[in-house]
């Protein structure tokens, strides 16, 4: 359980450092808040879908959660749109924000097993870090 706390602190610390660094960068193209909140909701459902089968197969929340995380990473690496966004400097901060919320969501689900709490925290992070 201590590892989860450390992971959450590191993720939130990374988000704070990102916010500080973001102030010194030129404005980037973030989607409007409504679209980001919609994307956050869909991301949570999408990531829960990828966690579901490994959770059933491995019968362990820890193993299933990280196996599902591996599937999400594999999907992101194979997605040409994500690769395009990585090359475009205007989209990098948005991808960093999505990555940080993914890690926080993953660790919260690992600690609590509660999808609703993970989703609520994800929505709050996207709303406040905008």
Q: Tell me the CA distances in angstroms from 14 to 46, 58, 67, 74, 123, one per residue in order.
A: 23, 31, 23, 23, 18
Q: Are 100 and 14 in contact (CB under 8 A)?
A: yes
The boundaries of the domain holding residue 106 are 2-128
pTM: 0.68
Q: Provide the pLDDT for residue 13.
A: 60
Q: How many CB atoms lie within 10 A of CB 123?
A: 16
- For 72-128, write each residue's pLDDT tens digit: 999 988 988 888 877 876 667 777 888 888 888 888 888 888 888 888 888 888 777
Give residue-wise pLDDT tens across range 1-26.
555 565 665 566 666 655 555 555 55
Check residue 102 and give its pLDDT.
87
């Amino acid at each position: 359980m201590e590892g989860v706390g450390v992971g959450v602190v590191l993720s939130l610390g990374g988000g704070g450092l990102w916010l500080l660094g973001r102030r010194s960068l030129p404005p980037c193209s973030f989607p409007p808040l409504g679209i980001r909140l919609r994307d956050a909701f869909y991301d949570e459902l999408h990531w829960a879908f990828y966690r579901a089968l490994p959770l059933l197969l491995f019968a362990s929340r820890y193993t299933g959660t990280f196996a599902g995380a591996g599937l999400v990473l594999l999907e992101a690496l194979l997605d040409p749109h994500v690769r395009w966004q990585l090359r475009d400097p205007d989209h990098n901060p948005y991808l960093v924000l999505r990555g940080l919320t993914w890690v926080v969501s993953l660790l919260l689900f690992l600690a609590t097993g509660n999808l609703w709490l993970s989703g609520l925290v994800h929505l709050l992070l996207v709303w406040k870090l905008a």
